C-alpha cells in the first residue's frame, strides 16, 4: 500500500496523480500531491515506478502501516527502490545481497 510521499524529494511533477489507476492522490496548491484515499490503493507500484524523483514508497504489505520511519527507509534505499528492482532506474543506494 502507498505509504510515503517524501516532501524533501518530490519535484511536484504530479506523475503519480496521473498514473494511479484508482485515483489515490490529489494535486495540491503547494505542488506536492497528497495521499488522499489510501484505502483505494491496490499496491500496484505504478506510482513508484513512474516517479522520476524516487520520492514514493509503496509497501508490499497491502495493509496500511502505522510505524514506518521515512528516514530509516531512506537509509535502507528502499524509497523509490522498486524502480531499480525492475530495471527502470539505477538506485545507487540499494544494496544487492
**Binders of ligand SF4 in range 23-42 (CB under 6 A):** 24, 33, 41-42
Of 52, 7, 53, nearest to 30 (Cα)?
A: 7
Sole binder of ligand SF4 in the list 4, 46, 73, 84 (CB under 6 A): 46
Task: Report the DSSP pairing between strands 25-26 and 34-35.
Answer: antiparallel
Q: Which residue has the cell 524523483?
A: 53
Please give the backbone phi and psi of residue 4, each rounded to the nearest 5 degrees, phi first: -135, 135
What is the C-alpha end-to-end distance of the chain, expressed in Å? 25
Is 14 near ligand SF4 (CB under 6 A)? yes
Binding range to ligand SF4, per CB under 6 A, among 15-23, 59-67, 70-78, 82-90: 15-23
Binding range to ligand SF4, per CB under 6 A, among 16-24, 64-72, 84-92: 16-24
Is 2 near ligand SF4 (CB under 6 A)? yes
Distances in whole angstroms, Cα of residue 32 to Cα of each of 11, 12, 76: 8, 5, 23
The contact set with ligand SF4 (CB under 6 A) reads 2, 5, 10-16, 19-22, 24, 33, 41-47, 51, 53, 55-56, 58
Amino acid at each position: 500500500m502507498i505509504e510515503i510521499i517524501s516532501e524533501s524529494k518530490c519535484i511536484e511533477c504530479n506523475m503519480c496523480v496521473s498514473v494511479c489507476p484508482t485515483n489515490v492522490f490529489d494535486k495540491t496548491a503547494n505542488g506536492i500531491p497528497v495521499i488522499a484515499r489510501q484505502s483505494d490503493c491496490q499496491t500496484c507500484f505504478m506510482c513508484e515506478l513512474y516517479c522520476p524523483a524516487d520520492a514514493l514508497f509503496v509497501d508490499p504489505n497491502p495493509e496500511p502501516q502505522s510505524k514506518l520511519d521515512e528516514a530509516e527507509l531512506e537509509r535502507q534505499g528502499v524509497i523509490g527502490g522498486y524502480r531499480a528492482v525492475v530495471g527502470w532506474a539505477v538506485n545507487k543506494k540499494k544494496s544487492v545481497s
